Structures are given as C-alpha cells and as structure tokens.
Structure 1
Amino acid sequence: MAHGEPLPQENKFNTGNELLIHVAYSQCLVLESKVLDDPAAVIPQKGSLPPLVCARLLGQLLLEAPIADGRTNVASEIVRCKDDDELQQLANLYKNHLLRCFYRTKGRTPLPSSHPTAPSFDLKKNEFRALLVETPSSHEAAKAQALERDQYRCMLSKELDVKSFKSGLALDDGSSTLVHTQCAHILDRSTNENLKDSAKVDYAASVHAILDRFGGINSIDELNGAKVHRLQNILTLGTSIHTSFDELDIWLEKIPDGSNNSYNVKASNPSFLRSLSARVEFTTPDPVRRPLPDPRYLKLHAACARIAHMSGAAQCIDQILHEEEVTKVLAFDGGSSELLDHILMRRLGIIAH
C-alpha cells in the first residue's frame, strides 16, 4: 500500500506566534521518522491507517488547513496527544469524519468517535446532535436549477447534457460533445441521511463539528436538512468527472488574483485531466436566484484532496471501500471463505497492513 509523500523536513512554522503549530508539526515529524528510521521497531497500528500515514495525515492537516483557526485547532489536538497511540487515533478521526465525508460511497458508518485530546470537538459534536435534520432524498429541483445556471453543460468539460439536448432545453452549436450529467454535491448529501440509526447520528454530528472547527464552515446552519441541496453546494458534472470529484481525484484551486469564481483544475494524476480545460471560470445568469458554488466549500474540498493524496490516506480509503464491497459479495454468496477471513482479519488488525 502506498504511504504518500514524505513531510517537508523543514518546519516552516516559526517559534514565535506559531509556537503551538511548530511544536505540533515537530511531533508529526518525530512519528514519521520513528517509522522510517527503524523499520524493525514496529509501532502497533491503531485504527485502519498505518502509523506512517497517520504521521503524514496530521502533518498535512497543519500544512493544508484552509483557515488559520483550523490549523490552530488541529495543532492543539496534536500537542495534547500523550503518545503515538493517541496520535494515530486522532489521525483516524480526521480520516473517518473529514476525508471520508466527501466520498459519495462511504462504506460502513464508522463507529462512534471521540478523542481524549479534543474536548472542544466533543462539545461541538454533542451540540450538533440535537440540531441535525435529515436530508430529503429528492433533489430534482436543485438539479434542474443547476443545469439552467450552468447552461446545461458540465462545468469542467463544457460537454452538453444529453437530456437537456433531447428535450430542446439546450442547442448544439455543432461542436458540442453530449454527455450524461449529474448533480454533484461538494459536501456530500448522504451525511445527514438515515438519521434513525444512532451510529449515523453520531457520525453526522462529528462531521459537522470537524467542518466547523477545521474548515470554518457552519454546516449545521448552512447545509442541514434540505439546505444541502442549495446551489452553493452543487456542481453540474459529467458522470465520470463526478465520480473523480467525489473520490478526491479532481479538485479546484482558486486562481491567485483571479475573479472569485476562476479556478485551476487539479488532479491526483494527469490522466484525469485529459478531457478538461486547465482553467475554468464559472458564470451565472442570475447571481441571486442561481448562485454559483461557494468558494469556501471548494477550498475545503481542495485542501482535503491534497491532504488525502499527499499523506497516503486516499489509497487507504480506496482499499477499505473496496474490501467492504468484496466482503459484502463474499458474505452473500458464501464462496471464497478464505479470502473473506483474510479481509476480516485485516480489518480487525490481526494481519499487519
């Protein structure tokens, strides 16, 4: 399994007004070096992420935090960790309740999470539990409004929506490629679905708490219930591009000194960009009735994509989701019991990752 890229060894955070962050980043470097410098000294794995990925995930959270308060909050949680076990637990908390919240396919709901170094996180989570509103499953109105706003095209490839073309809503200028589009949520709509399950309630409250503390997004107010379908949280994307966006393989970075809605299109691998423009600028015929995607949501999505790939967590999440899907199939048909046992033991940490 890939373990991402090494953390920059130079601690860029100063020892003056960034002392807390400097100390936290140093802890990440120490854990990383323990794993790399003496591979024979096995650090027990806590959770689904290897210790090396945990070190890099926490370090990347500090490097890529979209707001200063988010960086400070993570640093505070890191320095409270008493040992390597608690650092790993903290990394897994962010993997489960920040990175995985962008994936449309999330697999099993993670077990209820808490962390001894993050009391303010637990307070915020408990506050949000009582405020959760279940998301309506239908978002046809939002999809239609987004298509109108986006001129019936994928916002990244500019390909024409097939159904809109066939119904006469959009005209082919003679050079357009037709594609099936979907209503893509930046912050995924499934977070607040199925709230009759207490584990799902705990998961959703944890997600909203981390979005608030790390990303500065008051999602319990902005995206609760039906609000998750607001146009500020929606992109019109072709089907395959939507999947890549949801899996953090494609993201958008605001162009420095550009308009507020101009972005560079980035990807985890250049192959994802072959059909896309390097830059896009979003426009709307009516900023009031048909608002564009919120730059704050896209900034958080981009930060999480970079964190996931640079740390190696993206590959771990992909493997976890794949194994969960295989487990469902094997458990259903009763075949390949040896492979099923192997996967289950890996998930329990009995076999070394």
Structure 2
Amino acid sequence: MEHEHSSRGRESAPSEVDDIVSLLVPRLSHFAAVARAEHVTRAAHETQVPQSTLSRAMARLERDLGVDLFARHGRTVSLTPAGRTFLAAVERALAEVEKAAESVRADADPASGKVAFGFLHTMGVETVPGLIRAFRAEHPRIRFSLVQNYGEAMLERLRAGELDLCLTSPLPDAPDLVARRLDEQRLRLVVPEDHRLAARKRVRLAECADETFVTLEPGYGLRRIFDDLCTEAGFKPRVAFEGEEAETLRGLVAAGLGVALLPPPTVPRPGVVELAVTGGRAVREIGVAWLDGHPDTPPVAAFKEFLLSRRGRLLPQEPGTPPGPAAP
C-alpha cells in the first residue's frame, strides 16, 4: 500500500522546481505543526485549522512530494526518515521567514525604522551629517543605512530597491523616477595659487579654453555638467587626469597638474585659489530622487518630507569665496 502511494505521487509530482515551491510554501507551517505535535487533532487545535482540512493538506503534501512524510498510528503520527529530513529544512525556512518578517516590520516602525539613503561623495563631509542630525532631533530612534556613490550608480541602486531616497545631481529625467530640486551650488574654477588667473576673483570659462583640466570620470553627474558648460563656452576641454573624488582633484590642482571646475570645498584647501565663474550658469542642482509608485514606510515618508522642507536651505553656506551670479 505504501508502495502504491509513493508511485502515484511520483507520477503526479510537478517536474518544475518553481511549481513545487508554489505548491509547498502554503503548507509548510501546517506540516511543521503536525510534525511537532505528532497528532493531527492537537495540531488542528494549535493552528486553528479544521482537522479534516489539515489531514487533506498533509495527504496532498505527500502526494506532491512523492514520498511518505508520516507513519500513521491510529490518531497519532510519527515522522518517517524522509519526514525528519524535510522537517529540519522546513524549520530552518520558517525561521528565516520569521526573521525576515521581524526585520521588515522593524524597518517600517514609525519611531525606530530604517531609511536607506544615498548621496554624492561631495555631500558626505558636512551636508549629510548635518541633515541627519537635524532630522534626528525630532526622530531620535530612526536608523539610516548610508551609501555614498556617484549619481548614475545611486539611481541604479534606487531602481534595484536598495535605496529609498538619494541626493543626486543633475536631477534625473526618467519616467520611473521622481525628482525634486532642493538647492544648487555655484561651481568654482580651482587653479593653483601660482596660476596666471590666481589674482582674479572671477573668470569666464571661455578664458580657460587652453587650460589643462582635471575632472571626474565619465558617468559622474558633475562631469556631465562640466562637459556641457565647456560646450556652451565654445571649446572641448583638454583633460589630463580623471578621478572619482573632488578633494583628490583639488590635490592635483594644488600640485600644478591642471585646473578644475568643482563645487565649493567644505574647508578651504591650501595651495589653490577658487574663482567665481561668470558668463554662464555654472551651477549644479541638487535634488532628491525616489522610485515612482514605490510605497514609503513611515520613516522614509518622514525623512522625505523633511528633505522637501529644506528646499533652498539644504547646503551649508559657501565659505570664503565671492559669490558668482545666480543666473547668466
């Protein structure tokens, strides 16, 4: 009889792994309850599932797997060797599901949940720490998972669900993303302190057509802005060095290896002079982006509202350099 039961199961068992998983998942907790109680009636009482429903579910589970999980002894049951193997895996799987459920609930908790927040490298020294400190004055227990990267990489992580929000520049124009402008930074021409332009306060970018530049690598938002501004100024820049971080570029400028178009530094760097750029709108807009249609947990919604409330006040006051024009 047992042989016939197993043979029928093998004939009717689905051949595709995905089909097996979809059949098994709803029954795993019921199987574990029966296996632990070794009694269908007691398991039915514990799970608040009718005994007949539970008995049918166990029979279907064995049929779909093609093996006997239980040996029946009147009203009691015991696990077969296959059943014990299956129970060990099921308990691990259920424990992982429970752990995952606890984690996502904790992350969504309005008072102590988590925000996955991405931002540009140039905003990591002062801007982002200041924002989080101000936000946590009202939400002291909310946690942050922080990611520093360049703009395109952050947008990909946003699309992959790894980030809730990100500060980026320039603002993305994509149908699957929502972006809101928060602030802007005037860009500066950074030159060595012994450079021919170092005594100036302002300079037109067109005057730099013959200069050697150091700049960020292609793919960075600031590099795209730099290339566009040079095109508007009527020249193609001669690039000697490409890097990944603005302060490294300032070091290259201080070493006399070129000039750079960069946002203001957090702390003035010796060895360089920073000039306002006129004759064009040499700015980079900073905005917050998120995935369109993606529901926010309460902590994410609170931080998003906080960021939007900082429009025009997101960035610290620029130190030391004379202001350039707000518009051409």
Which TM class, normalised by the smaller chain length? Answer: under 0.3
Structure with the greater alpha carbon radius of gyration: 2
Q: Which has the higher contact order (CA 8 A, sep 6+)?
A: 1
More strand by share: 2
TM-score normalised by structure 1 residue count? 0.24
TM-score (norm 2): 0.25
